[in-house]
Copies of this chain bind each other. A is one copy, B any other.
Amino acid sequence: MTSLTLASSRRIRSTPYKRQVEKHGVSGYTVVNHTILPKGFSRSVEEDYWHLREHVQLWDVGCQRQVEVKGPDATKLMQLMTPRDLGNAFVGQCLYAPLVDHNGGMLNDPVILKLSADRYWLSLADSDVLLWAKGLSYGLRLEVEVSEPDVWPMAVQGPKADDLMAEVFGQAIRKLKFFTFDRFDFESQPLVIARSGFSKQGGFEIYLDQPKLGDRLWSNLWQAGQGLEVSPGCPNLIERIEAGLLSYGNEMTLDNNPLECGLERFCQLDGSINFIGREALQKIYATGPERSIRGVKFGQERCPPCSIPWPVRIDDEPVGYVTSAIWSPRFKTNVGLAMIERGYWEEQQRVLVEGEDRVVREGKVTGLPM
C-alpha cells in the first residue's frame, strides 16, 4: 500500500491554498485533522529533501488546526492540559507542549501560542483536542470559550526563508526570534507569523485568519521567491526522521507517555504545577520509562513505506518497533524512528528490523537528531 486514491468530500476539508497547490502539481494528499495535507509534488521525496536543505519551500499546512482557549480561566485550563510549565510563558511566545490524559498518555503535541494573558491557540497534530478541551471546560465549569477559529497555517521553510519572507513582509521579520510570533501586515491585514515549523531547516509559519487571502498570500510568496529557487513542498519524511521530529499517531499514541517520547524537558514533575496526569507521570519518572524513542539506521537497500509498526529484535528477542522509516540519500541507509525497550537503547546497539515486506535488515540504534 504505497499510494491510494483519496475521494473528496466536505468531511475531508480543503484549505485556502488548494487551488495553488493543485496548480503546482500536487501528487497526493494525506488527511490530518479532517483536512487535506499535500504529500508531494512533481519531484521525488529525495529531491525535495535536498531542495529543502538548500533553498526555500511553501507548505500548505492548513491541517494544523487551531483550538482557541479564551477567557478568565484560559490559563488555568491550558496548564491543566500540559505537563509543561506555562507560568513564565510570555505573550508572543510559542511553546511546544505535550498534552496528556490522567494516565499520562499522549493526546497531542501542539505548539501553544500565547496570544494574550487570557487567550491561547493550540496548533495541533492529528487529534480532536477541541473535544478534550470542551469536555474538560464543561466538566470543571471553567469560565472559558473553546473554539476552532478560521485559521489556516502556511509554512515557509528552508535556509532562504528569511530572504523570502523579508521580501513580502519587510526586513523586520528577520529579527523574529525562534519560537516567538508577532503580527506582520499582508495587504494591510495583520497576520500572526511565528518563527517555527515542522523541519529543522529554519523558517516561519503564517497563521492566516482570512481564508480569502490564501490564494494571494501563496502567489505573492511564490513571486517573491523566483530568485531564490522557491518550490512548493510539504513536511519531508527524510528530513523529519533525521531531525528526530515526532509525528502524533506515528511515533506516539495514547499508549505512550511523554517521558518515553523524549519529552522529559517539557514535563515539570517537581509538584510546583498542577496538571492532569501528574501523578501518573511522577510514578513513571521515579522508576524511569520502560522504553524510549531513538533513531535507527538499517539496511543497504530501500525499505518499503512503513504503514504498521515494524518489529525490532536482537537475535530473536523483541526490543521495540519502528514507527516511521525511509531511505536516506545522505546516510545511504534507511533511517527510522523507533520505540526501543530499556537496556537496548544505547547508541550503536546492533538490531534487526523486520519490514512489512518481511525482509529483515541489520541496523544500529542512533541518537536524535541523527
Contact = CB atoms under 8 A, between A and B. Distances in A.
A250 B11 contact: yes
B250 A10 contact: yes
A7 B39 contact: yes
Nearest to A125: B11
Interface of A: 1-12, 14, 18, 22, 27-31, 34, 36, 39-40, 101-102, 107, 126-141, 148, 247-250, 254, 276, 305-309, 323-324
A33 to B, nearest CB: 10
Contact of A309 (B1, B10, B136, B307): B10
A303 to B, nearest CB: 13
Given A1-B22, A9-B307, A138 B135 contact: yes
Nearest to A310: B10
B11 A29 contact: no
Contact of A135 (B11, B131, B247, B307): B131
Contacts of A102: 134, 138
A164 to B, nearest CB: 27
Contacts of A134: 101-102, 132, 135
17 contacts: A1-B14, A1-B18, A2-B7, A4-B5, A4-B6, A4-B7, A4-B28, A4-B36, A9-B30, A9-B306, A10-B324, A11-B247, A11-B250, A136-B139, A137-B139, A138-B139, A138-B276
A10 B127 contact: no
Residue among A4, A254, A276 with most chain B CB within 10 A: A4
